[in-house]
Structure 1
Amino acid sequence: MTNPTSVVDRITGVTLSSVTLPLPTGISDAKVLTGRQKPMTEVAVLFAEITTEAGLEGIGVSYSKRAGGPGQFAHAREIAPVLIGEDPSDIGKIWDKLMWAGASVGRSGLSVQAIAAFDVALWDLKAKRAGLPLAKLLGTYRDSVRCYNTSGGFLHAPIEEVLDRATESLESGIGGIKIKVGHPDNAVDIARVTAVRERIGDRTPLMVDANQQWDRPTARRMCRAFDPLSLVWIEEPLDAYDFAGHAQLAQTFDTAIATGEMLTSVAEHSELIRAGIDIVQPDAPRVGGITRFLDVMALAGREHLQLAPHFVMEVHVHLAAAYPIEPWVEHFEWFDPLFNERLEIRDGRMHLSSRPGLGVTLSDQARAWTVDEFRIKA
């Protein structure tokens, strides 16, 4: 039984917001060109705002692309009542309680992605209670993290636009460039990557992302073709669950192989890491929040792997700063309209702010784009 004197605070209210974030252009990667998906025109964002008896508030975020946003919101709404009355400092205990509240739908995928919004909010709140940025609460190895831009390199964009966006990104202070590959014509991929390499120079970090669309023979051919271009990594050359195939590529070619963004549990990441990979790319909202991300981070660190978290830089800059091996953070400006604050980017790096918690607050635009909301109070 809980000793009342050991309770630091209690959760008194939860607000869930389902926000539809429109994208200015329909986004196409290799999954669109292979006919597996349609162009992406919006992102469904799930926000959780948790308030406490002491007057503190934490903000958490999860998201879904193309489909699943209403499902995440519905699951979060069903399990939210278990938060009321809990001590927000008991984050691990609360994660388990949320998981068991919806255990019949599993411990990965949509169910844990819904939990992630609550979990991130609890960590934001805990850091605010301490008066520290989240990274400082976790314990930083650095006050800034290398960053690279992805949003300018999609396959729907003509190469001239990709080149111009790469130049703009580097001039804005971003350190590296990633572009999408996986065109049905391999020669088009090679020409596009070669053109970007020529534009940005041999010393600027360059990555490519095939979004799981190659089979093993094609992946081997493309890795061989890209090896001379001094890429930092080749991302998701194979299906996300082809752990053995990714490991074989990592063992065969000089260019590092990166994957992991599509995995939605610690168990899946553990299997991937055990198979053998160069760079692991976990996504905190997809694996169940910061609590589970820290588990993945510990597994990766034990194997001395590089870390390059996927998407949601507003959360991942804090986590990457607390990783012992120099990591990368992916820059996407898509979420900028949702927050009142901006991350500082200069000299190729994303810098931590001194603001407590995640250091972000929801904007009026985020409120305007809210399509569904749920509130519960003690």
Structure 2
Amino acid sequence: MKIKSVDVIPLQIPFEDGSPGVGLMPTKWTKLDIALVRIETEDGLVGWGDGFAYSCRRATVAAIEDMVAPLLIGREINDLAALNLELQQRLHLHGRYGITIFAISAVDIALWDLKAKTEGVSLAKLLADKPKTSLPAYASLVRYGEPDLVRSFSAKVVDEGYSTVKLHEIALEAIEAGRDGAGAATKISTDVNCNWSLEFARKIMPEMKRLDLYWVEEPVFPPDDAEVLGALQTEYGVPIASGENACTSVEFARTAPAIHYLQPSVTKVGGVTEFLKVCDLAERHGAKIMPHAPYFGPGYWATLQLMAARGICEQFEHLYVTPDAYLDPSIPLPEKGVVAVPDRPGIGFEPNPSTLDRYRI
């Protein structure tokens, strides 16, 4: 396929989540930032992708426009894995990880979308003979901070049919409230976002065992210290998850032998190409994939396709917020804890033009 154009559409969509709006992001978080990429071939096919943009939208957009797009326009592209590696090498001067990889992720997703569309199949069918048609999904709650809110929202999502709930709470009282609201039969986990010191983690991990947590995510900083994470998992008997902020399979090679759950994020890790490499790593080391996917654009759709194709992936993460609008109104949202995998060509994503116009920055 020969690339005719690469366009970036910066978007910002307000959302509601019932929280005070602080805790997960550097500033108050009430809007979803999206760096949407549209790649068109000379044959007229269009592929869609997006790079991680929460609190860094302008940087990701600039990286795509100034660093990545000029290396694609006018080129005939067939080997997407080779192209991904070439982009990493040619742009390593700017830093191999972070914003550079977010930008590469965006175009990689769009190119895989195009590749599957060229074949007339979904991405899942391009990658697997018999992909799954539906996936178990868990409710990924935001950080509420207040135990009463944690208890209320945990009970609410269980009433809606979710059998697994992820908190983003860091205080024991709030995590206990989550367990209380969700009930003993529900699987719960908590994403600490590196907020615990190692000393505090050692004090609280026995409590996580008592509360029967499904996993504890990124308990300490740095989140890629395989020795520390592996020791916490072994000593306290609670699975550890990490990797939502890791870029490329190189970073996952450190943690794959040590922890149970690897969490590649398709908009951060290097797109579809690097996500598949992380799946291969997990298989070799006996780990499982629990993808990071708190998105509603192409990252959401691409994650569904990848999970359908690779059996090592366990549960789909659904960020439990209500956006002002969905870019593609046909987005398959979880129902009773199960989400359907679209069977349209490519990743399945086709945005509503009027929605793009309304929320474009």
Under a length normalisation based on structure 1, what TM-score does the superposition of the two structures give?
Answer: 0.85
* Counterpart amino acid of residue 250 in structure 1: Q
Which residue of 1 is the match for residue 5 of structure 2?
A: 13
Assess if the C-alpha contact under 8 Å between 1:304 and 1:325 holds in 2.
no
> Is structure 2 residue 49 aligned with structure 1 residue 60?
yes
- Determine which of 58, 61, 76 is the counterpart of 2:64: 76
Alignment of 1:168-207 (within 5 A): 168-182=156-170, 189-207=171-189
Contact 1:260 1:281 in 2 (8 A): yes
1:271 and 2:254 are equivalent in the alignment: yes
Once the two structures are superposed, residues 358-377 of structure 1 have per-residue CA deviations (whole angstroms, 9 ceiling, x without a partner) of 11222322332222xxxxxx
2:208 is aligned to 226
Out of 77, 96, 102, the position equivalent to 1:107 is: 96
Structure 2 residue identity aligned to 1:330? E
1:50 matched to 2:39? The reply is: yes
The match for 1:146 among 114, 125, 136 is 136
The answer as to whether partners of 1:172 and 1:345 remain within 8 angstroms in 2 is: no
CA 1:326–1:287 in structure 2 vs 1: closer, same or farther (change >3 Å)?
closer
Match of 2:14 in 1: 22
Decide whether the 8 Å contact of 1:341 with 1:359 is kept in 2.
Answer: no
Q: Is 1:288 aligned to 2:273, yes or no?
A: no
Q: Which runs of 5 or more structure 2 residues have no equivalent in the other structure?
A: none
Task: Give the length in aligned residue pairs.
Answer: 348
CA distance in 2 between counterparts of 1:73 and 1:342 reads: 24
Q: Matched residue of 1:178: which SS? A: strand
Residue in structure 2 matching 1:238, options 197, 200, 220? 220
CA distance in 2, matches of 1:74, 1:296: 27
Deviates more, 1:20-29 or 1:223-232: 20-29
Amino acid at match of 2:305: H
The CA distance in 1 between the partners of 2:289 and 2:78, in whole Å, is 27
Structure 1 stretch displaced more, 56-65 or 41-50 = 41-50
CA deviation vs aligned residue, 1:64-99 (integer Å, no higher than 9, x gap): 222x22111111111202212323433123323433
Q: Aligned equivalents of 2:267 and 2:154: distance in 1?
A: 27
SS at 2:132 equivalent: coil
Candidates 292, 307, 310, aligned match of 1:310: 292
2:49, 2:107 within 8 Å by CA — same for their partners in 1?
yes
Q: Which residue, out of 313, 318, 342, partners 2:331?
A: 342
Aligned to 1:369: 359
What does 1:115-134 correspond to in 2, within 5 Å?
A: 115-134=104-123
Structure 2 match to 1:185: none
Contact 1:233 1:256 in 2 (8 A): yes
What SS does the corresponding residue of 2:12 show, helix, strand or coil? strand
| Inter-partner Cα distance in structure 2 for 1:351 and 1:62 | 23
Aligned residue for 2:167, secondary structure, equals: strand
* Deviation sequence 1:189-214 (CA, Å, 0-9, x none): 33322232233221211111111011
Aligned to 1:6: none
Distance 2:144 2:237 in 1: 25
Determine the C-alpha separation between the residues in 1 that align with 2:179 and 2:20: 25
Residue type of the partner of 1:142? K
Q: Percent identity?
A: 27
Q: Which residue matches 1:85?
A: 74
Equivalent-residue separation in structure 2 for 1:52 and 1:202 (angstroms): 52
Distance 2:237 2:345 in 1: 41
Relative to the length of structure 2, the TM-score reads: 0.89
Query: Which of the numbers 317, 333, 346 marks the counterpart of 1:330?
Result: 317
Q: Which amino acid aligns with 1:323?
A: R
AA partner of residue 85 (structure 2): D
Shift, 1:129, TM fit: 1.8
Cα distance in structure 1, aligned partners of 2:109 and 2:138: 23
Deviates further, 158-167 or 126-135: 158-167
Match of 2:240 in 1: 257
Summarize deviations over 1:84-115 as a string: whole Å, max 9, x none.
23234331233234334423112211101111
Secondary structure of the corresponding residue to residue 212 of structure 1: coil
- The code of the aligned residue for 1:272 comes to T
In the TM superposition, residue 322 of structure 1 has moved relative to its aligned partner by 2.2
Q: Please report how far the alpha carbon of residue 334 of structure 1 lies from its aligned counterpart in structure 2 after TM superposition.
A: 5.7
Q: Give the secondary-structure state (helix, strand or coil) at the position aligned to 1:287.
A: coil
The equivalent of 1:167 in structure 2 is: 155
1:326, distance to aligned residue in structure 2 (A):
5.0
The structure having more radius of gyration, on CA atoms, is 1
Q: Give the SS at the match of 1:362.
A: coil
Q: Deviations 1:218-259 (Å, cap 9, x if unpaired)?
A: 111111012122211111111113322111111112221111
Task: Report if aligned partners of 2:224, 2:242 keep a CA contact under 8 Å in 1.
Answer: no
Residue in 2 that maps onto 1:376? none
* Structure 1 unaligned spans of 5+: 1-8, 183-188, 372-378
After the TM superposition, which of the residue ranges 194-203 and 250-259 deviates more from structure 2?
A: 194-203
The CA deviation string for residues 153-192 of structure 1, in whole angstroms up to 9 with x for no partner, is 4134x3333333333323434331111222xxxxxx3332
